[in-house]
Amino acid sequence: MHQSNVVTVGIGQCGVQSMGRYWRTLIREHDLSDSGWQIVNCEDLSAMVHFTEHSQNKFTPRCLFMDLDATTNEVIQTSSIKDLFGPHSFASGQISAANCYARGRFSTGKMILNDASNKYRRLVEECDRQIGVMKVSSLAGGTGSGFTNLFFSENPIPKAIQSTSIELAPSAAFATSTTAYYNTVLQFNEGYDSFRYHILFDNLTLYKRCLMEGVSDVSYVHLNDVLAQVISSFTVSMRFAGTMDCSLEKLATNLVPFPAMKYILSSTSRLGTKMKPIDHKISCNQMTCQLFKKSHRLFSERFEEGLFFACNLQYRGKIAISEVHKAINKVRKIYSPKFTQWCKTGFKIANCWKPTCLPTDSFFQGNPGSVVMLTNNTVVTKSLKTFGTLFDKMFHERACVYWYVSEGLEEGEFPDAREYLETITQAYDQEEKNHDKPFE
């Protein structure tokens, strides 16, 4: 029997650290030890979506960590899960991209390209039946933006394979570099064709979410744990049985109505922490209503200010489908989410019995029942326009442009990238204008 397989890739500091926490989550969900040995003997093939069984009961993640600075990979290689990964799971450089897209795309990135490409192709060749590629990176980083575009231009994903990009967008109040918006806009432009859809998060909203959950001293580990829970939730239907499943292909089909409108936002029900635990069973109604509250979203914009194309709800735990439909009807009455005139159904539902299982060192608690929402909403244009405005302010003065040009980027690519970003925002804006017209 051939099992469906997904290859995961973490690029740059953000991608490597986030995927590190993701794999700690998966080994708990699949009853594996820190070394990848199966703790509970069974014939369940669920782990084979993300893992390769190299010997009896010994599983290795089907993943690749790539960073131009070796330090980030070394943290995982010396951690408690170091024996989980194989020798071909890491591709490291010696010189950082230093927050410059052009270094990752044209100069330093090429130093590890061949090594990274060979290891990636090996992962693909080991698949029985590859159905997807899932990549995590930061839009603001030099490696996460520049090297991502270089790598996937040299290793394009076939159209038959579902490609998912999970991206951390910059936030002006939580930025870690002055060139973040250059990198973001340049990555948007060239990386457009590499992935079917992009799931966006931002650090500031993740930070606020951790505070809301009772985390007093928020670190990147906490932010990455939130990301890991969300990612594991929208892949859980591929790994475990449920009354209604949702593959990467179904996500794309339901959430992306037009090729240009493929930027996805998310929210999640209460996570629960050791300091602020959930000491009672939350009903399906409560969980579902939480998704539409400002405090539970994982991106900065307010969903109610935009137009919904579709919402994907992934429930985890013992939740009856009849309760899900009642909860959705309650959401429609209380929050009145505004959907497009041509798609009034609005919701794609998935349900899996497997609850969230968190790493033993996680500050979060996990719940027997939870739900994550992925949604395509026109409100994303507010952030896209902010990216463009902050990009324009720097480029008007030609600030830092010489660093990019000296590394091989032509100055003309700046206005080209900005023009593409404007094309995306106009596509979303036009759909909102059409909504206000009488439907024929």
Instruction: Sort 273 into a burial class: Cβ within 10 Å, 0-12 / 13-18 / 19+.
Output: buried
In the DSSP assignment, the letter for residue 172 is G
Please report, rounded to a whole number, the percentage of residues in the chain having pLDDT higher than 70. Answer: 96
Is 349 domain-assigned?
no
Query: Looking at residues 174-180, what average pLDDT do you find?
Result: 87
Q: What is the mean pLDDT of the chain?
A: 91
pLDDT at 377 over 70: yes
- The answer to whether the CB of 352 falls within 8 A of the CB of 314 is yes
- The answer to whether the CB of 127 falls within 8 A of the CB of 62 is yes
pLDDT at site 1: 43
Is 389 domain-assigned?
yes
- The answer to whether the CB of 210 falls within 8 A of the CB of 226 is yes
pLDDT at 342 over 50: yes
Instruction: Determine which helix (DSSP H) or strand (DSSP E) holds 380, and give its type and residue range.
Output: helix 380-396
Is 413 domain-assigned?
yes
pLDDT at 6 over 60: yes
Is 61 domain-assigned?
no
Q: Which residue has the tokens 């450089």?
A: 93
Is 402 domain-assigned?
yes
- The answer to whether the CB of 114 falls within 8 A of the CB of 154 is no
Residue 59 is encoded by which pair of tokens? 């599983």
Query: Looking at residues 61-69, what average pLDDT do you find?
Result: 96
Is 401 domain-assigned?
yes
Is 403 domain-assigned?
yes
Count of other CB atoms within 10 angstroms of residue 60: 19
For position 415, which CATH number holds? 1.10.287.600
pLDDT at site 356: 85
pLDDT at site 176: 81
Query: Could you give the CA distance from residue 289 to residue 330 in angstroms, rounded to a whole number?
Result: 8
Containing domain of residue 413, as a range? 382-435
- The answer to whether the CB of 314 falls within 8 A of the CB of 246 is yes
- Which amino acid, residue 235? T
Domain count, the chain: 1
Q: Which of 105-119, 152-166, 269-283, 389-403 has the lowest mean pLDDT?
A: 269-283
| Residue 115's pLDDT band (cuts 50, 70, 90) | very high
Comparison of pLDDT for 39 and 91, the residue scoring more:
91
Is 393 domain-assigned?
yes
pLDDT at 175 over 90: no
For the stretch 233-290, pLDDT in tens is 989 988 888 777 888 889 999 999 999 999 999 999 988 777 776 656 789 999 999 9
pLDDT at site 403: 96
| Residue 67's pLDDT band (cuts 50, 70, 90) | very high
For the stretch 182-199, pLDDT in tens is 999 999 988 778 999 999
Q: How many CA atoms lie within 13 A of 16 on its CB side?
A: 23
Distance of CA 40 to the CA centre of its chain: 30
Rounded to the nearest 10 degrees, how much is the dihedral formed by the CA atoms of 287, 227, 146, 68? 180
Residue 420 is encoded by which pair of tokens? 């593409």
Q: How many CA atoms lie within 13 A of 316 on its CB side?
A: 28
Q: Which of 46-50, 78-82, 194-198, 318-322 has the lowest mean pLDDT?
A: 46-50
For the stretch 384-413, pLDDT in tens is 999 999 999 999 999 999 999 999 999 999
Query: Could you give the CA distance from residue 26 to residue 47 in angstroms, rounded to a whole number?
Result: 9
